C-alpha cells in the first residue's frame, strides 16, 4: 500500500515534467517506442518495473500473429494536437476510458515505469491509474467504434 507521502512525492514529480515531454501510454509498436506492460491472460496489463526501448527487430517479431498492441503496452511522446484523441487541450481518451470502466481511484497504485511522464497520470492522477490496466489498443479501438 502506498503511503500518503509517496503519493505526494509522485504528484510533485509529475508536476515537474514539462507538458511537452509527457508520454502517451497508448502508443503503437514502432522502433523507438517504450514497452512498459504486457497484457495478461485475464486481459489486464501487467506493468514492467522499467521500460524497454523497442527496435525494428522486436516490432517485426511482435507483429507475427496478433497485433503487438493486443499483447503489449507501449508509450511514446504525446503529440497533443497532432493526435485525433486530443480534445479541449488534453487527451480525451483517458476521459472515455474512465467513463467506460468506472474504477474508483485507490489508495495504492501499481508499479508503473512511466507514471512520472505519463500524460494520463498528469491529467487524472490516481483515477487514470485505476483504469489504465484495463486498456490495450485492441480494447481502445473496439471502444471507439461504439462511441
Sign of CA dihedral 139, 127, 19, 72: negative
Q: What is the model's pLDDT at position 110?
A: 85
Q: Residue 111 in contact with residue 131, Cβ under 8 Å?
A: no
Q: What is the model's pLDDT at position 145?
A: 54
Q: What is the model's pLDDT at position 65?
A: 87
Q: From the CB of residue 146, how many other CB atoms can be counted at a distance below 10 Å?
A: 6
The beta strand positions in the chain, using DSSP E, are 23-27, 34-39, 45-53, 72-77, 86-87, 90-91
At CA 10, angle to CA 107 and CA 34, rounded to 5?
Answer: 105
Q: What is the model's pLDDT at position 133?
A: 84
Q: Which residues lie across from 35 on neighbouring strands?
A: 52, 74
Ordered mean pLDDT values, 10 residues apiece, the chain (147 residues): 44 56 95 96 91 97 91 96 94 92 83 96 94 68 51
Burial tier of 99 (Cβ tally within 10 Å: 0-12, 13-18, 19+) = exposed
Q: What is the model's pLDDT at position 137?
A: 56
Q: What is the model's pLDDT at position 136?
A: 63
Amino acid at each position: 500500500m502506498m503511503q500518503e507521502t509517496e503519493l505526494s512525492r509522485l504528484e510533485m514529480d509529475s508536476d515537474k515534467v514539462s507538458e511537452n515531454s509527457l508520454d502517451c501510454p497508448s502508443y503503437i509498436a514502432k522502433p523507438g517506442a517504450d514497452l512498459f506492460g504486457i497484457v495478461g491472460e485475464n486481459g489486464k496489463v501487467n506493468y514492467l518495473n522499467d521500460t524497454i526501448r523497442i527496435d525494428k527487430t522486436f516490432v517485426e517479431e511482435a507483429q507475427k500473429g496478433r497485433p503487438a498492441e493486443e499483447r503489449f503496452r507501449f508509450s511514446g511522446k504525446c503529440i497533443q494536437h497532432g493526435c485525433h484523441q486530443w480534445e479541449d487541450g488534453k487527451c480525451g481518451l483517458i476521459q472515455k476510458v474512465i467513463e467506460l470502466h468506472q474504477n474508483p481511484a485507490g489508495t495504492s497504485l501499481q508499479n508503473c515505469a512511466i507514471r512520472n511522464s505519463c500524460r494520463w497520470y498528469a491529467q487524472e492522477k490516481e483515477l487514470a491509474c485505476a483504469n489504465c490496466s484495463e486498456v490495450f489498443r485492441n480494447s481502445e479501438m473496439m471502444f471507439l467504434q461504439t462511441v
